[in-house]
Every structure is written in structure tokens, then in C-alpha cells.
């Protein structure tokens, strides 16, 4: 779509306005098909996406293969990044950890609103009040990190995150597909991970694969957010204190250690409920009032079942006797059998007379087969631990 404004001048104005609206990174690319789509397709074929079936639908694949299937008039894709690293970091010993991007306001609402204002600016500058466009932030069939690399914002690291050479990787990406021509940026040319493998070595569940993809079915972010059923027992102890998401691979990245700095953006500062939450705060989520407590945050995506389930695992990994009473209350009274099963696992990890008493009481009243299996497994674990102590005495 032709406009009277010179594309170079328009692109410069748009980038300045994007930065004024709070975006730290801004770049432009074209809507050509992604050259590395085959990597994504092989990743799906291997089942690395787990239960995220929305990624593998025929319609989704067609649109990812050619952005013009989303917006036929598209001439440019504006790619932006917003620093989401809050400060100060969680620093209390009994905190339940939440990924940095999720501790503030829900980024979907924040970034989409800012992009709507940016589109309004573009419409004003061009005089095109009905300018065809599409706005996405982690919600549409676009290979976002590849688009960001093509727009010059950085390279895709070994941990699969987009890394900017002067700001690190704590960014949320978003895109605007536009039916006008902006001047595209040159793709970021280098892979600056070099021989470093710190992210791979540090991953608690060994989910990072050698071809710059990851096995989502082992990733703590997937386990705590996308997975809706039981967390595989063999991965629970590796979850540590993470109740929603995970930042380990970013925390050890040298580009973040050296260059990443907390944002001053008020939208991404910790909300009061998420400043220093404890596992108990999630174990106590009320079945009907929990949404109000977390309204306006991305934690709603995990739903109550996921959050209490995750907190039960964190409580078990904490292995503190102060977690026994909250877990016993969940095991004895939570309406969701998945949650009760994980509470049983947590009690089995902690041990002690209080945990054993709660498990035995639940065993007499529990009706769900899977929860009963978890209770029996936990009791066996306590018995094995007691026998081991007796042999060592």
C-alpha cells in the first residue's frame, strides 16, 4: 500500500515512537516465508511440543510457513522487544520463584495496548485510517524469534532465547504486521554464543537440545504452565522452587550476567501479590476466589490446579516441616485429585510423623485411583527412609 510519506522517514518516525511507548528494541523485516521452518516442523514431528497441540494444527502450520496467509496485504513486519526484568529480585529464603516476565502485569494486555497506540500513530502519519494490520505477542502463528533475528534485534541462543548483544535476553517480543512498506533492517549476522554451553549445563531438567531447540516436555516452564495433568515424578525434584516458569538458562547466560539490567517500566515491576510469594500463598488459593487474587497477571494461564500442584512440588522440594500442615490441608480437602496427588508426593518428600499421619488419614478417605497411588508411593518412601536410618544407626 503506497503512502505519501517517504519510507525511510516513516520508518524512523515509527521507531522513535515505539521507543517512546516503552519498547527497548525495534526492528523491521519482510513477510517472506521463514527459512528455518523445517527445524520447527521436525521439532513438532518429534513430539517435543508436548500437549501444546495448537502449535501443530494444519491451519497454524500453513500460516507459520507464510505470514501473508495471515494478512495477504502485508508488506512489513515491525518487531519490538520490551525489557521485562523486574527489580529487586526475589530475595527471601522461603520465596516460591516466578519467572521474571510474569511477576508484573500480564504482558499480553500491556504490549497489545502499546502496539495499538503505535498503529494509531502510523495511521495518523500516513493518513490511512483503515490500514490493514495484525498485532501479536506470543499469541499468533508467527515464528517470533526468527522474525526478531531477521529484524536485526539479536541472535537465537543455544537456550532458544533471542539474545541482544548489548541488553541480554530478558525481553518480551511482539509484532505488528503492516500493509505498508517500511525499510527492513539487516538480519543480525552473527552467532555469538560461541563455544559457551552454560545454559545447557545449568538446565535442571536437561531439556535444552543441541540444535537450539528444547524438549518442552522436560522444560520447567512447560511443566508449570502448559502441562495440565500430573507432572512426571522423575522431574519433580528438579523443579526446585519454581512455581511458575523458569529463568535458570537466562540467569547463567554471560550476556545477561554482563549486560542485562532491570527495567524501570512500572508495568513489569512485581505486583504486591508476586513480590515475594511463598509456597503457602499458592497452596491456600481458594477455589472460587483465586482469580481475584491474581487478576491482571499471567499466572492465570496455569489455572488454580496448576498453581497449587506446582506449589505442592515446591513445598516438597523445600523439605521443611513447616510445609507439612499446608500440604496436609490440601491433601485432605482440595477438590482436585491432581492437586491432592501432588500434595501426597510433597509430604512423602518431607517425611516425619506429621507427614505420615496426614498420608495415612488421606488413604482411608481418598477415592481417586491416581491420588491413592501417590499416597501409597509416599508412604513407601517414608518407610524406606525409616528403614535406611535404622540400618545406619
Give the residue numbers marked as catalytic: 138
- Residue the block writes with cell 544407626: 393
Q: Based on C-alpha coordinates, what's the Rg of the chain?
A: 24
Report the C-alpha gap between 348 and 319 in whole angstroms. 9
DSSP 187: P
3-state SS string for 95-114 = CCEECHHHCCCCHHHHHHHH
Q: Reduced to 3 states, what is the DSSP secondary structure of residue 28?
A: strand
Report the C-alpha gap between 48 and 223 in whole angstroms. 13
Segments in the chain forming alpha helices (H): 7-20, 37-45, 58-65, 107-126, 144-150, 198-202, 220-221, 233-236, 248-251, 254-259, 279-283, 290-294, 303-318, 324-333, 337-350, 353-365, 369-392
* Cβ atoms of residues 159 and 256 within 8 Å: no
Report the C-alpha gap between 178 and 133 in whole angstroms. 5
Q: Edge-to-edge strand order for the sheet containing 133-136?
A: 25-29, 76-83, 171-178, 133-136
Rounded alpha-carbon distances, angstroms, from residue 239 to 17, 51, 305, 315, 374: 41, 19, 17, 11, 18
Phi, psi of 385 (to 5 degrees): -65, -40
Beta strands 76-83 and 25-29 are antiparallel
Cα angle vertex 118, ends 117, 119, to 5°? 90
CA 214, 216, 219, 225 dihedral sign is positive
Report the C-alpha gap between 41 and 37 in whole angstroms. 6
Amino acid at each position: 500500500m503506497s503512502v505519501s510519506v517517504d519510507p525511510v522517514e516513516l520508518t524512523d518516525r515509527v521507531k522513535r515512537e515505539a521507543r517512546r511507548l516503552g519498547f527497548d528494541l525495534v526492528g523491521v523485516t519482510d513477510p517472506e516465508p521463514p527459512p528455518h521452518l523445517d527445524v520447527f516442523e521436525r521439532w513438532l514431528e518429534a513430539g517435543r511440543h508436548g500437549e501444546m497441540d495448537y502449535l501443530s494444527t494444519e491451519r497454524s502450520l500453513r500460516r507459520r510457513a507464510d505470514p501473508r496467509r495471515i494478512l495477504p496485504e502485508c508488506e512489513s513486519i515491525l518487531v519490538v522487544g520490551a525489557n521485562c526484568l523486574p527489580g529487586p529480585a526475589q530475595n527471601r529464603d522461603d520465596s516460591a520463584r516466578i519467572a521474571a516476565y510474569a511477576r508484573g502485569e500480564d504482558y499480553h494486555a500491556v504490549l497489545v495496548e502499546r502496539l495499538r497506540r503505535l498503529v494509531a500513530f502510523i495511521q495518523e502519519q500516513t493518513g490511512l485510517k483503515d490500514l490493514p494490520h495484525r498485532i501479536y505477542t506470543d499469541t499468533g502463528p508467527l515464528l517470533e524469534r526468527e522474525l526478531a533475528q531477521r529484524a536485526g534485534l539479536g541472535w537465537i541462543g543455544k537456550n532458544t532465547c533471542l539474545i541482544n548483544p548489548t541488553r541480554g535476553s530478558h525481553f518480551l517480543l511482539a509484532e505488528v504486521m503492516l500493509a505498508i512498506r517500511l525499510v527492513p533492517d539487516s538480519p543480525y549476522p552473527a552467532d555469538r554464543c560461541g563455544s559457551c554451553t552454560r545454559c545447557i549445563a545449568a538446565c535442571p531438567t536437561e531439556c535444552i537440545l543441541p540444535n537450539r531447540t528444547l524438549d518442552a516436555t522436560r522444560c520447567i516452564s512447560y511443566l508449570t504452565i502448559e502441562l495440565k495433568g500430573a507432572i512426571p515424578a522423575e522431574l519433580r525434584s528438579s523443579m526446585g522452587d519454581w512455581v511458575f516458569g523458569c529463568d535458570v538458562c537466562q540467569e547463567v547466560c554471560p550476556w545477561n550476567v554482563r549486560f542485562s539490567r532491570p527495567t524501570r517500566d512500572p508495568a513489569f515491576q512485581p505486583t504486591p501479590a508476586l513480590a515475594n510469594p511463598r509456597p503457602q500463598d499458592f497452596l491456600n488459593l481458594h477455589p472460587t476466589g483465586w482469580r481475584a487474587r491474581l487478576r491482571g497477571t499471567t499466572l492465570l494461564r496455569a489455572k488454580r490446579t496448576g498453581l497449587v500442584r506446582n506449589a505442592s512440588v515446591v513445598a516438597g522440594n523445600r523439605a521443611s516441616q513447616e510445609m507439612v500442615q499446608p500440604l496436609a490441608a490440601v491433601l485432605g480437602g482440595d477438590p482436585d485429585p491432581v492437586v491432592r496427588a501432588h500434595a501426597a508426593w510433597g509430604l512423602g518428600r518431607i517425611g516425619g510423623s506429621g507427614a505420615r499421619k496426614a498420608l495415612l488419614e488421606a488413604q482411608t478417605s481418598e477415592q481417586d485411583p491416581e491420588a491413592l497411588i501417590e499416597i501409597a508411593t509416599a508412604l513407601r518412601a517414608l518407610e524406606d527412609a525409616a528403614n535406611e536410618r535404622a540400618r545406619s544407626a
